[in-house]
Structure 1
Amino acid sequence: MNPELTRWTGPEGLPRFDRISDTDFAPAFDRELAAAEAAMEAISANPAPATFQNTVAAMETADEGLNRVLSIFYTLASVDSNPARQALQRDFAPRLAEYGSRTGMDPRLYARVKAVAEDAATLAPQDRRITELALRDLTRAGAGLTGQARARMTEIRSRMAVLTTQFAQNVLADERDYVLPVADDRLGGLPDWLIASMRAAAKERGLDGQIVTLNRSLIVPFLEHAEDRALREVAFRAWTARGTGEGAGGADTDNLPLVEEILALRHERAQLLGFADFATYKLAPEMAGSPDRVEDLLMQVWTPATRRAAEDEERLTALARKDGVNGALQPWDWRFYAERLRQDTHRVDPAAVKPYLTLDAMLGAVFDVAHRLFGLEFQPVEAPLWSPDVRAWKVTRKGRLMAIFLGDFYARPTKRSGAWCSSLQVQHRIGAGQRAIVVNVCNFTPPERPGEPAFLSWDDAHTLFHEFGHATHHILSEVTWPSISGTSVAQDFVELPSQLYEHWLEQPQVLDAHARHYRSGAPVPADLRDRMIAAGLADAGFSTTEYLESALVDLAFHRGAPPADAMDRQATILRDLDAPSAIPMRHATPHFGHVFAGDSYASGYYSYMWSEVMDADAFAAFQETGDIFDPATARRLEQTILSRGGSAPADELWLAFRDRMPGVDALLKGRGLA
């Protein structure tokens, strides 16, 4: 086995990616899976009476080697997929599910953890917390099941691993394989920077001219600026065809049969555990607690959002009429006329904004905010990573190592779409302890030529701040046990730090310091800055409605009996909501990776808005002091939330910071919907 997979010898303790090949993963996986199974078996079969140390604490490190191998593998599989890695994913998924079933449903382990939990009151707070969570997880995994129910649960877990892996690979294939050539005579309305990005995308694929791909940083501005309505429709239909069987992969990448089987298996799993449906099962340990509370929150926002969207649709339709567009406004029209209205109202030309929003400038802003709030300092690190584009920083505070931060910012055909934060290792204090190695992944359009800067849109800049907000959760983590480190919190609490961090991007003092012209170094003009911030709220009815549609469909899919026809059920849900036909779901079912490429956000896509209720109120805590960098408030945020991980229930952490639960008023005001 290649020792580089478990004993990382690169700079600052990073893996040596240049010494790892795809052929290394299978033997490493076999060995470390066997080691993890042996370690868990030793815990379960231990003849000594169960104690915290020989049971719960031992579980924390039982699969450490396996986790190190998989953290490298799944990072590479998501940022640089290839056929070999996809085949390994398909092989690993059912075997990991089988391992999870054996350990998660082991009645001996369940009995031992239960025995420790009975005396949990005598334990230290974090020890008690991981004991409670271990018992909860075993119970929810089915460790208390017997006979036929137990066997069926094992089958479900194994099959789900296969289905969710295939779902993600199908979407990636449709995104990777689609290109739309755009002839020179059909470039009307497209700004120079976008045409340059389209040419760079063509060059990357060995093509001439310019193309549109399904990379969000390319297709969204194309839909906003392309005057050729027919071409907008073609691009939009391709974007929404991912996973439908009508995408680039055809029937081979049809996700609808997978979706229906996933929903049926989730429902069966929940009922085996005594829950009415999957939504009830999934939400029981979250802050929301129940589907009814989630629906109540979403509907409180739905009414003002759709009211604003209807008002905007009238204005956009009037603009379309002037262009001779008859009939109803179509989904491929909305962004185009919304952008025109935004420019007419706020006079914000993206071409005028982008020179001030380079990736390096915005990274400088991200790091400066982290320094002013939390005293963090960032030093570049030269290390052999998976791509020359990936960058690394050593994060310190007063000379103490806090974390290693990696940024993989540019789109590649082999990279999964979207943006996310993950970790190669999490912070903990076991033994000598370790600090986090945290990874932010984005899909920004790379520079057209080497040596030139990468230009971000306003949305891209928000994404950069958002993902680094997640990173702060890892960087500032100060807990004993890996299972409660960093972002290991309730699903509807995990987006609080990320969405809260976005607020600092919109502050004039941050933009004045960092949004500087890439050539002259001049700060963004105050008038342009203010118009840019105001323009960010210009289409709030649309953005809120498309998000809520996805969240409400996700919730409805998992309440009650599973649908026999997912697309018919989706249509019924949207019709019952009286959803605007010109505003489709942000993530339609066939490519809804949050929900169907894994269980994390299943029945939990609402969590972005649940967290937004809190992030709006949390930023208000800074504003109330008169200083958005107020040291006392920042220190309290770190001590009560960011450093605590999952060491206490989410509502306790929130109340320790803010003393009260928030309402939706701050959210509506922040979105301009009040």
Structure 2
Amino acid sequence: MATPDLNPALTDWTGPDGLPHFEAVADTDFAPSFDAALAEHDADIAGIAHNPDAPTFENTIVALEIAGDSLSRVSALFWNRAGAHTNETIQALEREIAPKMSRHYSKIGMDVALFARIDTLWNARDTLGLSLEQSRVLERHWKGFVKSGAQLAKPEQERLAAINERLAGLGAAFGQNLLADEKSWSLLLKEEADLAGLPGFLRDAMAAAARERNAEGTYAVTLSRSIVEPFLTFSENRDLREKAFRAWSSRGENGGETDNGAVIRETLALRAEKARLLGYDNYAALKLDNTMAKTPDAVNGLLTAVWEKAVAQARREEADLAALIAREGRNHPVMPWDWRHYAEKLRSERFDFSESELKPYLQLDRIIEACFDVAHRLFGITATEKTGVRGYHPDVRVFDIRNADGTLVALFLGDYFARSSKRSGAWMSAFQSQHRLPLPNGAKGELPIVYNVCNFAKPADGKPALLSLDDARTLFHEFGHGLHGMLSNVTYPSVSGTGVSRDFVELPSQLYEHWLTVPEILKRYAVHEATGEPMPQALFDKVMAARTFNAGFNTVEFTSSALVDMAYHTAESVEDPAAFEAAVLERLGMPQSITMRHRSPHFQHIFAGDGYSAGYYSYMWSEVLDADAFSAFEETGNPFDPAMAKRLRDNIYSVGGSIDPEDAYTAFRGKLPSPDAMLRKKGLGVTEPLTGSDA
């Protein structure tokens, strides 16, 4: 990679503790660096595939694990920029790089000589004396090659490669279309009557968003969840709520160049064809083959059982909201742009507190401290901000994560504020993952460099950023993912950290959310922005009492999205995605007052790449696990019980994919769970226990 026309900052990370020098990388540096890194990886693969020595675990599997280091580094920097701070140059390159990368990995996955070596090892696996982790790594490589078409005839391989390349391009297009719709829409308000009901924190956030759009003196409703959701909650102007909701709900469905309808249709057709080529009945069967759930029937069994309870609860909630609307002297039905508004009023009436009363106690900086404190109490690690160290954007903060003995465990970067160059949502990723293998550059193993990205509303200068309770949960959730990466303690990169099955990966993140509302944490860190006083006990009690309020709505929002995802990926064909979505929801009996949490045209989890396709259910699957796992702490009487925390770190957070997830959970808890704890947490009662592979 050290050639004069290439920027070494992309591959030689010489910043503090091995951090990249982000500021030294220009957008135009990526294209030539990708070409050089791809060529280097090709050479690495050729050396492994055509090694004259007989295949061994070391000269084949370990060699594959460390091959392509430069490509990994260039890719990590590029995809971070494409998601968190993009522009037209990066987006143009993304449209080029996504299919190019697909072609590259398809060629590797179909390399006859390379697969022959892996297949030889796989067939002799019982005689190789492999450790459990090594066996898992070998299995992952062998199954990955099979799913990449290694066993197909040449014509089918060529077709599969073409499908994968096209799917990569479609995924990039879907995400870019959505970002364009989100970036281009705003509702600028100036008149006081249009701001009726909006609390100060929301006005401040909307004013900051307006300034970013060069509309000083106005207030911007944007399609950032951190603004549009509180606007729908507090605005007294029903017409403006409807306008904002329709814009939010129709992202990716506005006709013209950014409409995602055709992208979805082609994506689903190609995924179905890919599944058939690989011998599966449908794409869901392909994706679930190596998960805890294992089959679409198991997934739909859980979702349907929860759906029936959730809809019944949502109908009761809707009746209560309708009664409140009638008491106000209005005669309109409960519509999606009404639900959050009247639910907030009803919560205030029933529990005598509102989101606006709670929010001054949830300062971003204090909730970040709470995240770190929980990690310290559970796992003994300490986070210290590295002042003067630059991240990839001025808003990004960099932290050392150290064990109790002072050894450096990881670097953590937090990127918390919404901006027009960042895609919506929240996520965790890593610039590099933990492992212990020696590398060609002489290093032995790597330190995890993990980052969280959120989209909280940025406050006005001099004011603290204030979070909703949902925002605070999101921050804990993503840091839980981060801990899964940072506490990883494995030998091989492919099973490091979050390298686990899709329906297990949400366990560490969703479990971590529980500690936000542990009384000693919330009372210590929920302090008023103006007075510094802790949250009053009376308000804390009300927050705890209201935990399952609106549970029907929240569960219907999620479960409808998961059921539509499964329906898409088990269908033989989908000619009209909008009509298909509507038909599925009608069959389910979806209330007209609620919409899917992610309607198809902006369902990034399943269409902006392959990550959660036929896998959105996994949040609920993991929720069954996380509710049961936190119960283990509750049963001890101490939410920070040291023995239980050690079992959690040793069996869940540190092992990555090095052991089977069912075995990992059983080692921690002693048994597999039923959905009961999850349903009780939601306030939805209990259902029949899952058994066998459905557990």
1:195 aligns with 2:195: no
Deviations 1:15-34 (A, max 9, x none): 11111110111111110011
Residue equivalent to 1:597: 608
**Equivalents in 1 of 2:520, 2:634: separation in Å?**
14
Q: Please list, as runs of the form range in 1=range in 2, the aligned pairs for 1:48-447 lying within 5 A after superposition.
A: 48-121=53-126, 122-184=129-191, 185-208=193-216, 209-244=218-253, 246=254, 250-381=255-386, 382-397=388-403, 398-431=405-438, 432-447=444-459
Among 516, 530, 535, which residue is 1:505 paired with?
516
With normalisation by structure 2, the TM-score equals: 0.95
Number of residue pairs aligned between Structure 1 and Structure 2: 669
Deviations 1:41-63 (A, max 9, x none): 21112222111111111001111
Give how far 1:87 is off: 0.6
Give how far 1:627 is off: 0.4
Residue equivalent to 1:608: 619
Deviations 1:358-417 (A, max 9, x none): 011101110000000000101111312222111010000121111000000000011100
Contact 1:348 1:535 in 2 (8 A): no
**Equivalents in 2 of 1:366, 1:488: separation in Å?**
23
Give how far 1:658 is off: 1.2
**Equivalents in 2 of 1:17, 1:650: separation in Å?**
36
Contact 2:390 2:398 in 1 (8 A): no
Among 502, 509, 521, which residue is 2:532 paired with?
521
Residue equivalent to 2:691: none
* Helix, strand or coil at the partner of 2:611: coil
**Equivalents in 2 of 1:109, 1:61: separation in Å?**
15
Percentage of identical aligned residues: 48
**Equivalents in 1 of 2:234, 2:530: separation in Å?**
25
- The one-letter code matched in structure 2 to 1:57 is V
**Equivalents in 1 of 2:431, 2:174: separation in Å?**
24
* Helix, strand or coil at the partner of 2:446: coil
| Larger mean Cα displacement after TM superposition, 228-237 or 557-566 | 557-566
1:479 aligns with 2:490: yes
Q: Please list, as runs of the form range in 1=range in 2, the aligned pairs for 1:2-81 lying within 5 A after superposition.
A: 2-81=7-86
- The one-letter code matched in structure 1 to 2:194 is R
**Equivalents in 1 of 2:544, 2:109: separation in Å?**
48
* Helix, strand or coil at the partner of 1:439: strand
**Equivalents in 1 of 2:243, 2:223: separation in Å?**
12
Q: Show structure 1 runs of 5+ residues with no match.
A: none
- The one-letter code matched in structure 2 to 1:273 is L
Contact 1:276 1:560 in 2 (8 A): no
| Larger mean Cα displacement after TM superposition, 422-431 or 146-155 | 146-155
Contact 1:421 1:441 in 2 (8 A): yes
Give how far 1:324 is off: 4.0
Give how far 1:327 is off: 4.1
**Equivalents in 2 of 1:293, 1:482: separation in Å?**
30
**Equivalents in 1 of 2:365, 2:391: separation in Å?**
19
1:621 aligns with 2:632: yes
| Larger mean Cα displacement after TM superposition, 285-294 or 3-12 | 3-12
**Equivalents in 1 of 2:604, 2:657: separation in Å?**
25
- The one-letter code matched in structure 2 to 1:462 is R
**Equivalents in 2 of 1:285, 1:651: separation in Å?**
12
Q: Show structure 2 runs of 5+ residues with no match.
A: 1-5, 439-443, 686-695
**Equivalents in 1 of 2:651, 2:281: separation in Å?**
35
Deviant stretches of 4+, over 4 Å: none
Contact 2:484 2:654 in 1 (8 A): yes
Q: Please list, as runs of the form range in 1=range in 2, the aligned pairs for 1:518-597 lying within 5 A after superposition.
A: 518-597=529-608
**Equivalents in 2 of 1:349, 1:566: separation in Å?**
38
Aligned-residue CA RMSD (Å): 1.0
Contact 1:170 1:253 in 2 (8 A): yes
Give how far 1:148 is off: 1.9
* Helix, strand or coil at the partner of 2:410: strand
Residue equivalent to 2:689: none
**Equivalents in 2 of 1:601, 1:325: separation in Å?**
41
Deviations 1:110-169 (A, max 9, x none): 111011122323212222211111001001111100132111101101110110100000
Give how far 1:581 is off: 1.1
Deviations 1:521-568 (A, max 9, x none): 211101111212333421111010010000000001111302111111
**Equivalents in 2 of 1:545, 1:538: separation in Å?**
13
- The one-letter code matched in structure 1 to 2:181 is D
Give how far 1:108 is off: 1.5
- The one-letter code matched in structure 1 to 2:344 is E
**Equivalents in 2 of 1:672, 1:560: separation in Å?**
33
**Equivalents in 1 of 2:633, 2:382: separation in Å?**
22
Give how far 1:664 is off: 1.0
* Helix, strand or coil at the partner of 1:430: strand
1:470 aligns with 2:475: no
Contact 2:480 2:509 in 1 (8 A): yes
**Equivalents in 1 of 2:44, 2:445: separation in Å?**
20
**Equivalents in 1 of 2:598, 2:365: separation in Å?**
30
Contact 1:181 1:212 in 2 (8 A): yes
**Equivalents in 1 of 2:513, 2:420: separation in Å?**
28
* Helix, strand or coil at the partner of 1:443: strand
**Equivalents in 2 of 1:435, 1:529: separation in Å?**
39
1:495 aligns with 2:506: yes
Contact 1:556 1:573 in 2 (8 A): yes
**Equivalents in 2 of 1:349, 1:298: separation in Å?**
31
**Equivalents in 2 of 1:290, 1:274: separation in Å?**
15
**Equivalents in 1 of 2:665, 2:449: separation in Å?**
26
- The one-letter code matched in structure 1 to 2:529 is Y
